[in-house]
Structure 1
Amino acid sequence: MSRPREFDVDRALHQSMEVFWTKGFKSTSFEDLTQTTRVKKQSLYGVFDDKRSLFLKALVLYRKQSVAVLEELVSQDDMSPIKKLDAIRGIALGQCHETIRRGCLMVNSALEFGTDDKEVKREVEMMFAEVEQLLEKIIRSGQEQQLITTRYTSKELAAYLNNALQGAKMMEKSGASWERIDMVLYTSFAMIVP
């Protein structure tokens, strides 16, 4: 008969995600994870196999949480497309004002791993593709209402804004001032309005 788990797996995964987000994969030791989660190494290994498996699950969690926030925003029928884009810019800026300049776990992981790890690369690409699809949906609606320029396709504008959001996260991680990040995001979002 197997012993029941002595810890909350979801909570440990959330806590581990926070550690990876702050320190990165390579700089996170298993001791960091066990101290944060207060779960013994053997127990974490029993559920997550190893540090890499735990990291991959943390990436999935981060992607799902981030996309869910944007999906909720997109589904708001009482908001105009411009208000939705302003809210997305606000979310990005709000995250930038955190005490610890963590950037984005996906951007950080893309920079840390490059294209060397196929599973990490797949998660990063999925995140960016999902965000871009949601941006495109908002932009297409704005173009139909003549609130957003039609000089470029909704797909082109979504790729542009997605790149601006990722760039803002890189700026945050590298220590750029909040004012500079705000200026870049404000300008990027303002450029799509006719």
Structure 2
Amino acid sequence: MEVFWSKGFRSTSFEDLTKKTKVKKQSLYGVFEDKRTLFLKALALYRDHNLQNLQEIMAQADSPAGKIDAILRASLCANSEDARRGCLMVNTALEFGVSDLEVTKQVEGMHNDVQLALEEVIEEGQAAEQFTTKFTSTELALHLSNALQGVRVSQKSGVDHQQTEAVLRTAFGLIMK
């Protein structure tokens, strides 16, 4: 996963993978028939890890506003190395577009997972009158998800941290009442 995240699918060679995993090429081929199969497993692992991380972040807060604030803080805390690498799913979407159905399903799945988690928190916050009801929870979740993805693209392309922080603070702030 780390190699694909750093180099992208097309730029990653089997030599890169064997060097990182310390597994011989034949053994790697024995478990994963090809590089693409291994890549799909890496995407699934990344997706599972990030969804679990998001759920843990939200579980630590006791109110919808606290959950949204915790997600914002976690999004802002990406160190410069992580920011330069970007998000594996966003990087993959940019590399593949919609040219590979299975890859697209993983990318869309991650997007949907994040959106549904945000939507749930926003619905809860709207019911508690902490968040605006000017837009539906679905619309607001789409907005926040899009802002998070956009910031990852900006970070990967070297946009200043202060600018990306301003984008996220604004996007998250717009849902508050």
- Report how many residues are paired: 177
Larger radius of gyration: 1
- Residue type of the alignment partner of 2:53: V
Select which of 160, 168, 172 maps to 2:155.
Answer: 172
CA distance in 1, matches of 2:173, 2:80: 21
For 1:178 and 1:56, locate their aligned partners in 2 and report how far apart those are by CA, in whole Å: 31
Please name the residue that 1:140 is paired with.
Answer: 123
**Matched ranges for 1:69-84 at <5 A:** 69-76=53-60, 78-84=61-67
35, 50, 70: which is aligned to 1:66? Answer: 50
Q: Does the 8 Å CA contact 2:119/2:140 hold for their aligned counterparts?
A: yes
Question: 1:84 and 1:99 mapped to 2: Cα distance?
Answer: 22
Task: Using structure 1 for the length normalisation, give the TM-score.
Answer: 0.87
Q: Cα RMSD between the aligned structures? A: 1.3
Indicate how the Cα distance of structure 1 residues 176 and 165 shifts in structure 2: closer, same or farther if over 3 A, else same.
Answer: same
What corresponds to 1:31 in structure 2? 15
Q: What are the ranges of 5 or more consecutive residues in structure 1 without an aligned counterpart? A: 1-16
Q: Which runs of 5+ in 2 are unaligned?
A: none
Classify 1:18/1:58 alpha carbon distance in 2 versus 1 (closer, same or farther; 3 Å). same
Quick one: distance in 1 between partners of 2:86 and 2:75? 10
Are residues 1:47 and 2:31 paired?
yes
In structure 1, how many angstroms separate the alpha carbons of the residues matched to 2:62 and 2:49? Answer: 21
- Percent identity over the alignment? 54
1:103-128 deviation per Cα after TM superposition (whole angstroms, max 9, x unaligned): 11001000100011000000000100
Please give the TM-score of this superposition, normalised by the length of structure 2: 0.95
